[in-house]
Chains A and B, each alone.
Chain A
Amino acid sequence: MPPAGPPPPFRSSGARRTPGRATGPSGRGDLRPRREPGARRRQPLGMVQREQRNRWGLLFLIALLVVVVGRLVVLQGVDGAAYAQAATNDRMRNYPIEAVRGQITDRDGQVLAYSVDAERVTADPAVVTDPTRTALALTTLLDVPVAELTEKLSRDSRYVVLASEVSTDVTDQIRALPAKTRAGILFEDDPVRLYPAGAVGGQVVGFVGKDGDGLAGIEQTYEDVLSGTDGEKRVEVDGSGNEIPSGIDETTPATDGGTVSLTLDEDLQFVVQQRLDAACADGATTSASAVVLDVHTGEVVSMAGCPGYDPGHYNETDPDLLGNPVISDVYEPGSVMKAVTLSAAIEEGKATKDTVLTVPDSIAAGDAVVSDAHARAPLDFTVTGILAKSSNVGAIMLAREVGDSTLERYLRAFGIGSETGIELPGESAGILEDSADWTESRAANVPIGQGVSVTTLQMASVYQTLANGGVRIPPRVVASVTAADGTVTEADQPEGTRVVSEDTADQLTYMLEAVVGKGGTAPLGEVDGFRVVGKTGTAQRANPDCGCYTGGGYFTTFVGYAPADDPQYVVAVDLERPTSSAEGGQVAAPVFSDVMRYALTAGGVVPSGAPRPEFTLTVP
């Protein structure tokens, strides 16, 4: 309506003037001239036409308005959130916050593994102006040959890694280089895992792979605790990327990894490792393992094997050595298993420590004949004498009294044939056949520790049971976990289970003391000033070439505890000697003795001064 209005009045006013003068005085005469201009206006557009045009115009405008409003609704109501989000995202920057991997410490808090900040030096060759000059500047700092750096910096690529795990003081020096020299050089967070103790405890601690995941040992089992949770810094930035002080800040902080405290004692671990390394260097020993347990808690105080490895250089080590032989390698324990056989016999009431048996020097077992180490005439041994002299025949005679299924029950109760449940990966359960499947020769072999495979840790656990008055506590290596916020979670202490009565355990301790003393098989196992309890083992090693025992050499073992009247530590030592025929009392016992002496001295254990009893081994 309005657009059609304005033009006509001008015309009308012009038309009015002339007639207005002529008919000015008379009031009615001026009506006609006014009509004329009106009539002129009607000529181009009639009333109906004008109205129609107005309606169409109105409709057109309304349509436009509807379109605009509709679009507005779509923008604000329907797509609004998405656009607002896009706008916010455009202003937000995300920076990852890497969680610091937790530490692994020994029982006293000595650090065995920890992480420090380091950076990966990378480059964008497209931005590097002068590869030769940059390479020359970096070669000494990064300790990488110039030629290699020049080649990398000249590549037709946008990303090359120049060096990994570069310490921050070196990267600070690189950052201080002239801008032209360091053009195109970039840095990324690349925390480095350090193992200050090196090979000491390395097999227990394990190592971390290139991507930061634990691949062995505690690093693997406690990956969830150690790794923590990465955070993210999300802040509003201005056009040039600077953080806006009072802008949006949606930062989620990183939760650092927790600290895992082990039950290991680093000093003892060092001594054990040194002693084993010395044993491995004697020319005949190819591998050795040792474990020290706390009698009353079942805690692993030390656990080592040789050859060991340094977790910091795991990638330069033979992959076959990147395990933990103490829990993964199984062997036939030999005579040390006789302690289980005799425990079963005494617990079942078939014998006491003083029972006398007439023991020949050999005994038929199915298609085989088992004989004692030294040929002799039949002797009247006490049960103590059978153990002290390590008579195979006597042990088999007692085992036959007990019966196969009962013996198997005792073996399994002592933990043979099942994993100990220690917090380490790759544990072996060992091999123990069902007694129903035992052949006659197998039934004669198992009581003396052949035809059954155990780990060093399992063997130590058997003697821990005897030392602890017949109560077996599964060995554990983690003492507690300290979260990043300081909350300490003590590791679950497994329930002890009674395997044999206290009386049986005491009798075994008495008998085993005879082994180490005068007339026993292991005088070298003695620790000066202490009453030591232990048992030697010399088991034939299966020859991997023929699958037979011929030429396979021996596994020599020694397991024992001290002091006899109040046991504190159990030490199990196992040496694999494929080319030697030396017995456990000669090679394994000295290692045991050295380790035990240090454990007792460092542990502040004082001998009670009670005299060593006299033993009756044979009855004349």
Chain B
Amino acid sequence: MSQPARTTSTRTSTARTSTARTSTARTSTARTSTARTATARTAPRPTGPVHVPRTSPPRRTGPVPAPGPQLRLVPPARTTPTRTPPRARRATRRRAPFVVLLVALLVATTLGLLLLNTAIAVDSLQATQQREANAEQAEEVARLEQQVVAADTAAELARAATAAGLVPPGAAAHLVLQPDGTSVLLGTATPAPAPSTPGN
């Protein structure tokens, strides 16, 4: 563990110092400091140098032709896209019904909303028409009731009765039965006077 760690540390130290310096110019001192301390502290780690070219500085190392092994490390990145097509094909096969379902749902929702909105609008229109008709009917009823009430008053009845040739009654006589079975005539029945203006 300790031997390979040393050798790699010397190699990478050169490479890193260069990257570290360029990076100071670009970014900040913080990175370089961490890089340096990282090399010092994490020197025993074997994975340290392997990871560096992969992740952060592929651009920087890219143009440089000298480090061969670092370039070799790139292919794994190439291999991953070659692996993905079968996965994607499988995924597309799996996704296809899902997408169709989604689209169908969307279309159905849109259509449903449209239908519902139309239905509501139609109902609302009908309700308005019904309400108007109702109001008209109510007005008509009110008018008719008005006629009934006006014709039902005592004064109007008296007028109509007079017009029909009726006369107000005179004094009424009462034939009252007594407990012993006899009857007593109370009051004098007088025939109603002939109407002054005979009715139709």
The answer to whether A and B assemble together is yes
How far in angstroms is the closest Cβ of chain A from B38?
Answer: 20
- Evaluate contact between A606 and B174: CB separation under 8 angstroms: yes
A114-B149, A608-B176 given; A528·B187 CB < 8 A: yes
- Evaluate contact between B120 and A270: CB separation under 8 angstroms: no
- Evaluate contact between A609 and B176: CB separation under 8 angstroms: yes
A114-B149, A245-B120, A246-B120 given; A24·B154 CB < 8 A: no
- Our pick among B18, B173, B174, B184 for the contact of A31 (Cβ within 8 Å) is B18
A376 close to B (CB within 8 Å): no
A27-B66, A117-B142 given; A110·B152 CB < 8 A: yes
- Our pick among B14, B65, B153, B186 for the contact of A609 (Cβ within 8 Å) is B186
A360 close to B (CB within 8 Å): no
- Evaluate contact between B143 and A169: CB separation under 8 angstroms: yes
Interface size of B in residues (CB-CB distance below 8 Å): 44
For A18-45 the 0/1 string (1 means CB < 8 A from B) is: 0010001101101100110110011000
- Evaluate contact between B21 and A16: CB separation under 8 angstroms: no
B22 close to A (CB within 8 Å): yes
A20-B64, A196-B150, A200-B154 given; A34·B22 CB < 8 A: yes
CA distance A196 to B187 in the complex (A): 36
Q: Which of B13-46 contact A (CB under 8 A)?
A: 14-15, 17-18, 21-22, 24-29
CA distance A243 to B124 in the complex (A): 9
Residues of A near B25 (CB, < 8 A) are: 8, 12, 37-38, 41-42
- Evaluate contact between A529 and B26: CB separation under 8 angstroms: no
CB-CB nearest in chain B for A600: B172
- Evaluate contact between A27 and B154: CB separation under 8 angstroms: no
A5 close to B (CB within 8 Å): yes
- Evaluate contact between B18 and A34: CB separation under 8 angstroms: yes
Q: Which of A383-422 contact B (CB under 8 A)?
A: none
Residues of B near A528 (CB, < 8 A) are: 171, 173, 187-188
CB-CB nearest in chain A for B65: A24
B77 close to A (CB within 8 Å): no
Residues of A near B149 (CB, < 8 A) are: 111, 114, 194, 196
- Evaluate contact between A609 and B63: CB separation under 8 angstroms: no
A173 close to B (CB within 8 Å): no
For B97-124 the 0/1 string (1 means CB < 8 A from A) is: 0000000000000000000000011011
- Our pick among B15, B18, B152, B154 for the contact of A270 (Cβ within 8 Å) is B154
B1 close to A (CB within 8 Å): no
CB-CB nearest in chain A for B177: A609
CB-CB nearest in chain B for A112: B153
B56 close to A (CB within 8 Å): no
B139 close to A (CB within 8 Å): yes
How far in angstroms is the closest Cβ of chain A from B159?
Answer: 11
A122 close to B (CB within 8 Å): no
How far in angstroms is the closest Cβ of chain A from B94?
Answer: 40
- Evaluate contact between A198 and B64: CB separation under 8 angstroms: no
A269 close to B (CB within 8 Å): yes
A110-B152, A168-B139 given; A38·B22 CB < 8 A: yes
B178 close to A (CB within 8 Å): yes
B194 close to A (CB within 8 Å): no
B146 close to A (CB within 8 Å): yes
- Our pick among B28, B63, B155, B188 for the contact of A20 (Cβ within 8 Å) is B63
For B64-77 the 0/1 string (1 means CB < 8 A from A) is: 11110000000000
CB-CB nearest in chain B for A28: B14
CA distance A5 to B172 in the complex (A): 123
Residues of A near B146 (CB, < 8 A) are: 116, 194
CB-CB nearest in chain B for A9: B26
CA distance A34 to B21 in the complex (A): 9
CA distance A200 to B171 in the complex (A): 23
- Evaluate contact between B184 and A35: CB separation under 8 angstroms: no
How far in angstroms is the closest Cβ of chain A from B66?
Answer: 6
How far in angstroms is the closest Cβ of chain A from B112?
Answer: 15
How far in angstroms is the closest Cβ of chain A from B181?
Answer: 13
Q: Which of B144-162 contact A (CB under 8 A)?
A: 146, 149-150, 152-156, 158
A99 close to B (CB within 8 Å): no
How far in angstroms is the closest Cβ of chain A from B52?
Answer: 15
How far in angstroms is the closest Cβ of chain A from B40?
Answer: 20
- Evaluate contact between B21 and A35: CB separation under 8 angstroms: yes
CA distance A110 to B15 in the complex (A): 114
How far in angstroms is the closest Cβ of chain B from A338?
Answer: 29
A49 close to B (CB within 8 Å): no
Residues of A near B124 (CB, < 8 A) are: 243, 245
Residues of B near A1 (CB, < 8 A) are: 28
Residues of B near A42 (CB, < 8 A) are: 25
CA distance A8 to B24 in the complex (A): 12
Most buried by B among A5, A41, A607: A607
A267 close to B (CB within 8 Å): yes
Residues of A near B67 (CB, < 8 A) are: 27
Residues of B near A245 (CB, < 8 A) are: 120-121, 123-124
CB-CB nearest in chain A for B139: A168
A197 close to B (CB within 8 Å): yes
CA distance A117 to B141 in the complex (A): 11
- Evaluate contact between B18 and A30: CB separation under 8 angstroms: yes
Residues of A near B158 (CB, < 8 A) are: 270
Residues of B near A236 (CB, < 8 A) are: none
CA distance A194 to B152 in the complex (A): 14
For A593-613 the 0/1 string (1 means CB < 8 A from B) is: 000010001000011110000
How far in angstroms is the closest Cβ of chain A from B163?
Answer: 16
CB-CB nearest in chain B for A274: B158
- Evaluate contact between B187 and A27: CB separation under 8 angstroms: no
- Our pick among A20, A200, A529 for the contact of B187 (Cβ within 8 Å) is A529
CB-CB nearest in chain A for B127: A245
CA distance A194 to B143 in the complex (A): 12
A42-B25, A111-B149 given; A607·B154 CB < 8 A: no
Q: Which of A86-135 contact B (CB under 8 A)?
A: 110-111, 114, 116-117
A266 close to B (CB within 8 Å): yes
- Evaluate contact between B186 and A5: CB separation under 8 angstroms: no
CA distance A422 to B153 in the complex (A): 25
CA distance A168 to B138 in the complex (A): 11
- Evaluate contact between B21 and A606: CB separation under 8 angstroms: no
- Evaluate contact between A269 and B27: CB separation under 8 angstroms: no
How far in angstroms is the closest Cβ of chain B from A455?
Answer: 25
9 contacts between A and B (CB under 8 A): A8-B26, A27-B14, A30-B18, A31-B18, A47-B29, A198-B153, A198-B155, A607-B187, A609-B184
Query: 9 tightest A-B contacts by CB?
Result: A529-B187, A270-B154, A38-B25, A609-B176, A245-B124, A529-B186, A528-B187, A528-B171, A609-B184
4 additional A-B pairs beyond A30-B64, A196-B149, A609-B174, beta carbons within 8 Å, are A16-B63, A168-B139, A198-B153, A270-B158
